[in-house]
């Protein structure tokens, strides 16, 4: 059976209906104007969508006042989601990064890698658009819009306003972002790297692009979720206040799931790099091993390692070259079940870093991690004080990435305790200690206007101050588990 609402023109017609919030469109719950036949078709045909990509409608489909464009004040998060995204979320500006001198420099670096062949401008470049402007070509000025995270809305835009809609397990393509593994898998293709898309656009930020001015990519699920202005309910706060069931919230599981999914994406990316035809000179992935983003930036660079900074690389020594700690730190905590295999894999790559690792082995490890993530972390008691202090003591305070991984762990332990009814007055001191540590690790920007440089790591990183703050925070967070 052919779908009634097939093709672009009917999709935009539908979008127009939905965007018509002011005058009784489909969104103000209860005010149905869409013909019932169309609704039934939309809902009934959704399973067929597994065979073809779901249709994108563009951000305007979500933007009426009756839907998600209410003012922030006085409205619940779901109602003002568009407003928050459009006014404060960097994703709504992601296409702008493709205009300007930094983008031109980056594209020039690609040209240099491709034997000087002329390149399209960044805003149309297949090496940029998949992450910065993934919407419909015509509306790609929406940057990273709702559908880039929530899934193409063609098959669910109407259905998700029905009273009996559930996001979990739906077959219409709406992504269940409240599930940590699903959420992390949605973010990592853009924030770690992902497979090329069907239209040939690539999703990889290599060291060449970073050296030409692109910020380095690194991802931590909980940290990055809190790094954008949230347009969703803070379920940890709700559970801590007793207004949502604590059983639904598991900060430690979210933390460990995030780490596993990052490693999974990284192994898949490394497998693609290692498999890329050796000797070829064209294309971003060609002949890329050793791709330096796989390794610890500080193994070669004196701090700061920054976008646009003249931070000098130092001669790498065998002893110091190691795999990127932002990916590998604390995996023994996040993935106890895979510890031995991961340690062996890591040691093998590091021992012969100049050889591309065996792609099949990397893919195998990624697949086993996916199984582990799907199984979920068993909800148990919080780690003991001794364990928390041990993790902090084992962290290299000079290595920003490693400290950030530990900070994220400590924040997850604190949230775990908050949700499990540790009184607010006991949480205040460890929370303040973690805020101090966070401040010591904060990025610094300098310059003004177009000359403003955002550092990918802090300048003036002070290992002894970091060691002190880390030790203090770990003792306080660890003690929450004790009566």
Per CB under 6 A, contacts with ligand HEC among 93-112 are: 93-94, 97-98, 102-103, 106-107, 110
Nearest to ligand HEC of 113, 333 (CB atom): 113
Out of 117, 141, 320, 454, the only residue in the binding site for ligand HEC (CB under 6 A) is 454
233 binds ligand HEC (CB under 6 A): yes
Q: Taking the complex as a whole, how short is the minimal distance between the CB of residue 123 and ligand HEC, in angstroms?
A: 9
403 binds ligand HEC (CB under 6 A): no
Nearest to ligand HEC of 128, 476 (CB atom): 128
283 binds ligand HEC (CB under 6 A): no
Return d(Cα 119, Cα 113) in angstroms, integer.
11
Q: Taking the complex as a whole, how short is the minimal distance between the CB of residue 150 and ligand HEC, in angstroms?
A: 6
18 binds ligand HEC (CB under 6 A): no
Residues within window 238-257 making contact with ligand HEC, judged by CB under 6 A? none
Return d(Cα 318, Cα 350) in angstroms, integer.
9
Q: Taking the complex as a whole, how short is the minimal distance between the CB of residue 170 and ligand HEC, in angstroms?
A: 14
Return d(Cα 125, Cα 98) in angstroms, integer.
9
Return d(Cα 251, Cα 475) in angstroms, integer.
19
Locate all alpha helices (DSSP H) within 114-155, ordered by sequence. 129-132, 146-150
Q: Taking the complex as a whole, how short is the minimal distance between the CB of residue 80 and ligand HEC, in angstroms?
A: 9
The 10 Å Cβ neighbour count of residue 98 is: 23
Out of 55, 185, 216, 461, the only residue in the binding site for ligand HEC (CB under 6 A) is 216
Return d(Cα 268, Cα 124) in angstroms, integer.
26
Residues within window 137-156 making contact with ligand HEC, judged by CB under 6 A? 144-146, 148-150
Out of 26, 128, 153, 260, the only residue in the binding site for ligand HEC (CB under 6 A) is 128
Say if CB 41 and CB 8 are below 8 A apart: no
Q: Taking the complex as a whole, how short is the minimal distance between the CB of residue 311 and ligand HEC, in angstroms?
A: 6
Q: Taking the complex as a whole, how short is the minimal distance between the CB of residue 461 and ligand HEC, in angstroms?
A: 14
Q: Which string of x and - marks every residue 77-96 that binds ligand HEC (by CB under 6 A)?
A: xx--xx--x----xx-xx--
Choose the binding region for ligand HEC from 187-195, 260-268, 383-391, 470-478 (rule: CB under 6 A): 187-195
Question: Which tokens go with 112?
Answer: 């240099």
313 binds ligand HEC (CB under 6 A): yes
Q: Taking the complex as a whole, how short is the minimal distance between the CB of residue 428 and ligand HEC, in angstroms?
A: 24
Q: Taking the complex as a whole, how short is the minimal distance between the CB of residue 238 and ligand HEC, in angstroms?
A: 10
Nearest to ligand HEC of 307, 391 (CB atom): 307
24 binds ligand HEC (CB under 6 A): no
Nearest to ligand HEC of 321, 475 (CB atom): 321
Return d(Cα 46, Cα 38) in angstroms, integer.
12
304 binds ligand HEC (CB under 6 A): no
Q: 112, 109, 21, 127: which is closest to 67 by C-alpha?
A: 21
Return d(Cα 237, Cα 419) in angstroms, integer.
8
214 binds ligand HEC (CB under 6 A): yes
| Distant-in-sequence, close-in-space partners of 300: CB < 8 Å, separation ≥ 6 | 292, 313, 314, 316, 320, 321
Residues within window 314-343 making contact with ligand HEC, judged by CB under 6 A? 316
Segment 334-343 long-range contacts (CB within 8 Å, at least 24 positions apart): 334/255, 334/256, 334/259, 334/260, 334/377, 335/256, 335/259, 335/260, 335/263, 335/369, 335/372, 337/372, 338/365, 338/368, 338/369, 338/372, 341/365, 341/368, 342/263
178 binds ligand HEC (CB under 6 A): yes
Residues within window 190-209 making contact with ligand HEC, judged by CB under 6 A? 190-191, 193, 203-205, 207, 209
Say if CB 433 and CB 473 are below 8 A apart: yes
The residue with tokens 């059983």 is 247
Reading phi first (left if > 0) and then psi (alpha if -120 to 50, else beta), residue 323 is in: beta
405 binds ligand HEC (CB under 6 A): no
Q: Taking the complex as a whole, how short is the minimal distance between the CB of residue 219 and ligand HEC, in angstroms?
A: 8
Out of 61, 206, 269, 293, the only residue in the binding site for ligand HEC (CB under 6 A) is 293
125 binds ligand HEC (CB under 6 A): yes
The residue with tokens 């979008």 is 15
DSSP SS3 for 405: helix
């Amino acid at each position: 059976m052919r779908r009634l609402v097939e093709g672009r023109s009917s999709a935009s017609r539908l979008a127009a209906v939905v965007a018509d919030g002011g005058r009784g469109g489909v969104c103000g719950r209860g005010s149905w104007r869409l013909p019932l036949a169309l609704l039934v078709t939309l809902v009934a045909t959704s399973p067929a969508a597994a065979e073809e990509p779901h249709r994108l409608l563009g951000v305007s489909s979500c933007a009426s006042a009756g839907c998600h464009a209410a003012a922030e004040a006085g409205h619940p998060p779901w109602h003002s989601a568009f407003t928050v995204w459009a006014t404060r979320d960097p994703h709504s500006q992601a296409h702008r990064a493709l205009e300007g001198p930094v983008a031109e420099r980056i594209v020039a670096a690609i040209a240099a890698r491709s034997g000087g062949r002329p390149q399209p401008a960044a805003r149309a470049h297949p090496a940029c658009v998949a992450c910065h402007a993934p919407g419909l070509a015509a509306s790609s000025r929406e940057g990273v819009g709702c559908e880039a995270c929530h899934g193409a809305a063609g098959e669910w835009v109407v259905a998700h306003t029905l009273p009996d809609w559930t996001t979990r397990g739906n077959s219409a393509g709406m992504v269940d972002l409240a599930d940590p593994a699903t959420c992390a898998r949605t973010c990592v293709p853009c924030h770690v790297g992902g497979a090329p898309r069907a239209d040939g656009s690539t999703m990889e930020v290599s060291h060449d692009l970073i050296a030409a001015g692109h910020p380095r990519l690194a991802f931590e699920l909980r940290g990055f979720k809190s790094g954008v202005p949230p347009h969703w309910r803070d379920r940890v706060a709700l559970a801590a206040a007793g207004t949502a069931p604590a059983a639904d919230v598991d900060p430690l599981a979210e933390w460990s799931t995030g780490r596993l999914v990052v490693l999974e994406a990284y192994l898949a990316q490394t497998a693609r790099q290692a498999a890329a035809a050796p000797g070829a000179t064209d294309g971003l992935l060609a002949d890329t091993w050793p791709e330096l983003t796989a390794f610890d930036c500080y193994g070669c660079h004196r701090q700061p390692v920054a976008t646009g900074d003249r931070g000098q690389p130092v001669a790498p020594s065998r002893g110091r070259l190691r795999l990127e700690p932002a990916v590998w730190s604390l995996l023994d905590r996040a993935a106890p079940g895979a510890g031995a295999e991961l340690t062996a894999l890591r040691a093998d790559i590091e021992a012969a870093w100049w050889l591309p690792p065996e792609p099949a082995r990397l893919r195998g490890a990624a697949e086993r991690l996916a199984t582990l993530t799907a199984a979920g972390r068993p909800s148990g008691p919080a780690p003991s004080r001794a364990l928390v202090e041990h993790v902090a003591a084992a962290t290299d305070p000079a290595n920003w990435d490693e400290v950030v991984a530990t900070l994220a762990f400590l924040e997850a332990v604190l949230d775990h305790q908050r949700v499990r009814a540790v009184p607010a007055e006991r949480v205040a001191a460890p929370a303040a200690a973690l805020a101090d540590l966070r401040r010591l690790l904060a990025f610094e920007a300098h310059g003004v206007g177009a000359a403003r440089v955002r550092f990918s790591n802090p300048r003036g990183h002070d290992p002894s101050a970091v060691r002190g703050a880390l030790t203090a925070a770990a003792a306080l967070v660890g003690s929450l588990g004790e009566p």
